[in-house]
Structure 1
Amino acid sequence: MGHLITLATSSLNQWALDFEGNYERILTSIRIAKERGATMRVGPELEIPGYGCLDHFLEGDTVLHSWEILGKLLQSDETKGIICDIGMPVVHKNVNYNCRVIIHDGQIILIRPKMWLANDGNYREMRYFTPWQKHRQTEDHYLPRIIQSITGQLKVPFGDAVISTVDTCIGIELCEELFTPASPHILMGLDGVEIFTNSSGSHHELRKLYTRVELLKEATLKLGGVYLYANQQGCDGDRLYYDGCAMIAVNGRIIAQGSQFSLNDVEVVSATIDIEDVRAHRTKASRNMQAAASERYQRIEVPFALSEDEPHKIMSPQGAKSLNVAYHTPEEEIALGPACWLWDYLRRSRTQGYFIPLSGGIDSCATSVIVFSMCRLVAEAARRNDTQVIADARRIVGEPENSSYLPTDARELCGRIFHTCYMGTENSSPETRKRAKELGNAIGSYHIDLNMDTVVTAVRQLFAFVTGIKPKFKVHGGTNAENLALQNIQARLRMVLSYMFAQLMPFVRGRAGGLLVLGSANVDESLRGYLTKYDCSSADINPIGAISKTDLKKFIAYARNAFDLPVLDEFLNAVPTAELEPITESYVQADEADMGMTYDELSVFGRLRKVEKCGPYGMFMKLVQEWGSRLSPLQIAEKVKLFFFEYARNRHKMTTITPAYHAESYSPDDNRFDLRPFLYPSRFPFQFKKIDALASKLPDQSNADEAPSKKND
């Protein structure tokens, strides 16, 4: 028999600055790990204060309170007899570091600072922390007096070292360090480290999990070893949803996986592995030649064995074979990720539910179905007797703590906490009104149907009284300026009415508190600026603000069957329209016609602009190759110029856009993710001239016969 070791990693739903709540969740995860026989437990990045503290990491209070919580953990009996890898900020020689603190039996073994920081996209770690640059070196860190009094230690090692137990060797990585080309685990593994930990604060994006899984497998395939991946889970106070999915990999195989989307506050993933499998995997001569020449790491010795001499201990079944990693389809990700985020936001904001202006179009429909998905998840958790979910649901719906109420019926729960409202005008169609009402009935929301023509008319009459001019729609002979103003006032009044109803509907229904207003502008409309500033796209939060129209349609098609909502067929077949202009025999307003581009084209523009980092000229060059078989260079040039003109002149709208769930790599969210100006030379004179000059010279291949394929010799 080999040396069997039970290891545990975790996903925790931590909340920024919720020190007491975070402490309880950490302690619970350690307790569960020990109950499963684990001798080592790993938690997510910065789990004590919460990963999303942002500029609060610059405050001395955050560091002080983190030490105070660590002191409680050191004193707890739960942390005895197990090695715990815990995350918090540490100030060393007046420099702030993102650290892992390794503890065992009331002692601090090592403080390991992060060496490669996440500093792009949604992450600004170098704003708060400094990377540790003394690789393979440690220094003495003198502990705060509150910790000295608990551990009896004056100082502990601080830096880049590994931990040597009686029976194996452990190395630590932090989140981004796995994603870097020269990851620390490579050199640590060559120096004999057999178990690697990675504590992460990795957020959800559609289709992203595959990358994470492949990196974990690759980390131990050539190198050999056991890899424990922990991750933050849930909404910890911002636009991101951390999607958990704690995992354990051995020698290039995933052997244990946690859930990616869950309402659980604590989830522990464990496995019993044979460390001899790692040693057998490392017998290749080429690996050993590199290992023999590798530089040494300082080893911090711990008089503790992870394995036990237990003949009756049995290796986990999954330890002997690969696990079929569970991946969700993008449609399932949309159903689950934003729904979990909405639940965290609702319960932690201590409000009484959500309100949405339901237009009868696919965007507000998708948002409403996501809320219904949230209610389904809550109902499932209640049926499993999840006490935390039940307690939160009772408080939200206004039931006393000792009530017998169980939120096991998703439609019934939806009727208590979700309010939908169709705000019609004379420009609205019977079809959208009917679709909105039928959707409300299908999901069980508290639905309101109203006409707001009197409010719109009052504003028009006020303007006419003050100026002597009564503005007209274009179809009635008005100018473009009049037409746009009349559309915008309808949209902005919907925002005003939304907040009034959201504040008063609980009162109307005999309850206290208020509702959060949901926005429903998708990522493509935000990118193009096809929305009215301070209209009903202005809300408290937006669960679809970084999801494309294309993906939303696929989600609705999925939800139609998965949630048994046949009414969604009508939304899929409807032409997207704002319904802000009068409908005539010869004219019906349509979004894509208004925008001058399709939603599919917008998705392409968005990816090229953000992900591929293309300016106008670079985008034109790319699209000549991609679209040249169906469009001429001059047609492509016009599309690119129109997109950049509209994007540039509407960019200011992103400075006030509703905070949205981050789900897409080309999100234009100015506030966190997409740091670009909002005052542009919107005609891009130099760039557009260069595009026009090249487009006039390039041959038109759009009608050319497809060239024969070239075969490799």
Structure 2
Amino acid sequence: MIICNGDILACGSQFSLDEVEVVTATIDLEDVRSFRSSPSRGLQSQHAQKYPRINLDVRLSKRVEDHDYQLQGQSEPIDLKYHAPEEEIALGGACWLWDYLRRCRAAGFFIPLSGGIDSCATSVMVFSMCRLVVSAIQEGNEQVLQDARRIAAEADESTWVPETPQELMNRIFCTTYMGSKNSSSDTRRRAKDLARDLGAYHVDIDIDTVTTAIVNVFFSWSNWMPRFKSAGGSFAENLALQNIQARSRMVLAYLFAQLLPTFRGRRGGGSLLVLGSANVDEALRGYLTKYDCSSADVNPIGGISKTDLKRFIDFARTSFDLPILSTFLSAVPTAELEPITSSYIQSDEADMGITYAELSTFGRLRKNDKLGPWGAYSKLLSTWGSQKSKQNPNDQAVSPRQIAEKTKFFFTKYAINRHKMTVLTPSLHMEQYSPDDNRFDLRPFLYPGFDWAYAKIDRDVERREKGESGRQKAKVEDDLD
């Protein structure tokens, strides 16, 4: 920025694909001198050391007449543009992806498109990147055009210029829906429709033959076939059968990412970068399979909460003219790793035992406010404990016992799943609440039990439920702590 006496006269763009950006403004240095010696500082200026003024036959302004110099075209103050969080996700993520792609010299991006909002948001971020690239090319940025031709394997076609983001997307972005017998027709259709509207090259496959073959390896040794819980299986069986689907998708993602460019006749032999699509809330909770399709080359949304991702999708729905995104906003988040029955449909929030809105709140308390179980519980008593609180995701009063249970549940899951945090895919970090142990979160990745804090929370809940008689006893116990 160029600022004179507190007024912004010029400002560079916050998000740009330009290699170099020059910002200029014309100011009157006399305005600066006058401002510094204004009456509010008169007493100070009177006691300040005096410096001699030397007149030189040198002027910075343009000559108007032989006897006069006058400042021409003095810059006027401008209003500063503030980007909304959803705009920062769209623009910042786009610049980050393009810079990474052109530096690593890959052939483009690949993502397993599940039909859910996370992989949808990642794909829309790539679309935002293509919008920026096409816009920069139309504005005459030759460097961006050369990079686009090289990445799209069009280096020999000096006349090729992408006209639309969809045209560029089709050359550098591939998506695959990896369905199974547990997948629904709704998610398959949403994935296909989204890929079509974005212009991506889309592949629709089923993974049942792969997962069945892997499970049969175990059966051939043990002569025992694991079952889902809906078929009478144990928790361990149910979890193993879910995880093998997720991990198979990761293996297939890298296979397709390496072979699709060659299959499509692309020159250069480069492979695609695999994009991850696990949000920051799932990482905090540990609600992801280690080395599943959340394991990738880079993860654009790995540092963004689910609540912010929904706002980003809502923004892109209108700003990018993508009405298909409305179906993703209204869809119930589900991993679709268990069989659907007449009485059971798998839901992410039901599996997690906590809502995404609550996870987002705990994530901010843990990372931004550096709070442990007791600190988070105390903070939530004043926010969730009052009806219609702005920070209350349930929009209704929550009892101290409910707050205590949610707090202990989150920190227990957070502690036992910390090992997953150390193998997260490198992510884009745009918010303070983004945890990343390998890079800037230097706390120990393993924690002992929170026994002392949990006991303190339990005593406080008991005191509040018993009233004044229980408070004296709880106070004595707290004093002993």
Q: How far apart in 2 are the matches of 1:490 and 1:520?
A: 16
| 1:589-600 superposed matches below 5 A | 589-600=346-357
Q: Among residues 430, 435, 438, which one is paired with 1:668 in the alignment?
A: 435
| Structure ranking higher in helix proportion | 2
Q: Deviation per CA, 1:302-349, whole angstroms, max 9, x where unpaired?
A: x997835644764445x34x3111112222111111011100111110
- The residue correspondences of 1:138-287 to structure 2 (distance < 5 A) are 247-285=1-39, 287=41
- Rounded to whole Å, the distance in 2 between the matches of 1:657 and 1:544 is 12
Q: CA 1:292–1:501 in structure 2 vs 1: closer, same or farther (change >3 Å)?
A: farther
Partner of 2:60: 307
Does residue 615 (structure 1) correspond to residue 381 (structure 2)? The answer is no
Matched, 1:520 2:286: no
Q: Which residue of 2 aligns with 1:501?
A: 256
Shift of 1:536: 0.5
Q: Superposition pairs for residues 365-384 of structure 1, below 5 Å?
A: 365-384=120-139
- Of the three residues 305, 325, 331, the one matched with 2:80 is 325
CA contact (8 A) 2:28 2:71 kept: no
Partner of 1:36: none
Within 2, Cα distance between the matches of 1:314 and 1:435?
A: 60
Shift of 1:561: 1.4
Match of 2:336 in 1: 579
Conservation of the 8 A alpha-carbon contact between 2:62 and 2:72: no
Q: What secondary structure is seen at the aligned counterpart in 1 of 2:22?
A: strand
Partner residue, 1:693: 459
Distance 2:308 2:230 in 1: 34
CA deviations over 1:566-604 (Å, ceiling 9, x no partner): 111111110000111111111111111111111111111
CA contact (8 A) 2:37 2:45 kept: no
> Which residue matches 2:286?
529
Residue 422 (structure 2) pairs with residue 655 (structure 1):
yes
Map Cα deviations across residues 490-513 of structure 1 (whole Å, 9 max, x no partner).
Answer: 101110000011011111011221
1:9 alignment partner in structure 2: none
SS in 2 for 1:449: strand
Deviation at 1:278, TM superposition (A): 1.1
**Does 1:346 pair with 2:101?**
yes
Give the deviation of 1:441 after TM superposition.
0.5
Q: Output the amino acid matched with 1:558.
A: F
Question: RMSD across aligned C-alpha pairs, in angstroms?
Answer: 2.0
- TM-score scaled by length of structure 2: 0.89
SS at match of 2:411: helix
Q: How far apart are 1:355 and its partner, in Å?
A: 0.2
Compared with structure 1, are the counterparts of its residues 313 and 411 closer, same or farther at alpha carbon in structure 2 (3 Å cutoff)?
A: farther
Partner Cα distance (1:278, 1:314) in 2: 14
Q: How many residues align?
A: 446
Q: The residue matched to 2:131 in structure 1 has which SS? A: helix
The alignment status of 1:440 with 2:195, answered yes or no, reads yes
Contact 2:62 2:71 in 1 (8 A): no
Shift of 1:287: 2.8
Q: Distance in 2 between matches of 1:284 and 1:386?
A: 46
The SS at the match of 1:538 is coil
Return the letter of the residue paired with 2:270: G
1:453 and 2:219 are equivalent in the alignment:
no
Aligned to 2:27, the other structure's residue is in SS state strand
Q: Distance in 2 between the 1:404 and 1:394 partners?
A: 10
TM-score, with normalisation over the residues of structure 1? 0.61
Please tell me whether the aligned partners of residues 146 and 155 of structure 2 are also in contact (alpha carbons under 8 angstroms): no
Supply the AA of the counterpart residue of 1:597.
I
Partners in 2 of 1:401 and 1:507 — Cα distance?
17
Distance in 2 of aligned mates of 1:258 and 1:450: 46
* Alpha-carbon separation, structure 2, partners of 1:306 and 1:475: 85
**What's 2:407 paired with?**
640
- Post-superposition Cα deviations, 1:21-75, rounded to whole Å, max 9, x if no partner, equal xxxxxxxxxxxxxxxxxxxxxxxxxxxxxxxxxxxxxxxxxxxxxxxxxxxxxxx
Secondary structure (helix, strand or coil) at the match of 1:577 reads: coil
| Paired residues of 2:334 and 2:346 also in contact (CA < 8 A) | yes
SS in 2 for 1:281: helix
Runs of 5+ consecutive residues of structure 2 not aligned to the other structure = 51-55, 387-396, 468-481
Is 1:538 matched up with 2:305?
no
Q: Secondary structure at the residue paired with 1:254?
A: strand
* Displacement after TM superposition at 1:521 (Å): 0.5
Structure 2 counterpart of 1:624: 381
Partner of 1:299: none
Offset of residue 281 of structure 1: 1.1
In the TM superposition, residue 669 of structure 1 has moved relative to its aligned partner by 0.9
| Pair 694,517 (structure 1): closer, same or farther in 2 beyond 3 Å | same
Structure 1 residues 286, 564: closer, same or farther in 2, change over 3 A? closer
Determine the C-alpha separation between the residues in 2 that align with 1:552 and 1:316. 44
| Deviation (angstroms), 1:518 | 0.2
Amino acid at match of 2:430: A
Q: How does 1:64-83 map to 2 (within 5 A)?
A: none
8 Å contact 2:2–2:11 — kept in the other structure?
A: yes
Distance 1:255 1:545, change over 3 A: same
Other-structure match for 1:400: 155
1:477 aligns with 2:232: yes
Aligned mates of 2:323, 2:368 — CA distance in 1? 36
Matches within 5 A, 1:355-366: 355-366=110-121
User: How far off is 1:467 after superposition?
Assistant: 2.2
Distance in structure 1 (CA, Å) of the matches to 2:462 and 2:26:
67
- Cα distance between partner residues in 2 of 1:393 and 1:698: 63
The amino acid that maps onto 1:515 is L
1:413 to 168, 173, 192: 168
Please give the secondary structure, in 1, of the residue aligned with 2:25.
strand
Specify whether residues 700 and 483 from structure 1 end up closer, same or farther in structure 2 by C-alpha distance, changes over 3 A only.
Answer: farther
Is this contact kept in 2: 1:378–1:407, CA < 8 A? no
Alpha-carbon deviation of 1:527?
A: 1.2
Which of structures 1 and 2 has the larger relative contact order (alpha carbons within 8 angstroms, sep 6+)? 2
| CA positional deviation for 1:639 | 0.4
Distance in 2 separating the partners of 1:627 and 1:328: 29
Aligned-partner Cα distance in 2 for 1:662–1:315: 44
The structural deviation recorded for 1:458 is 0.5
CA separation of 1:309 and 1:558: change in aligned 2, threshold 3 A: closer
Q: Higher strand fraction: Structure 1 or Structure 2? A: 1
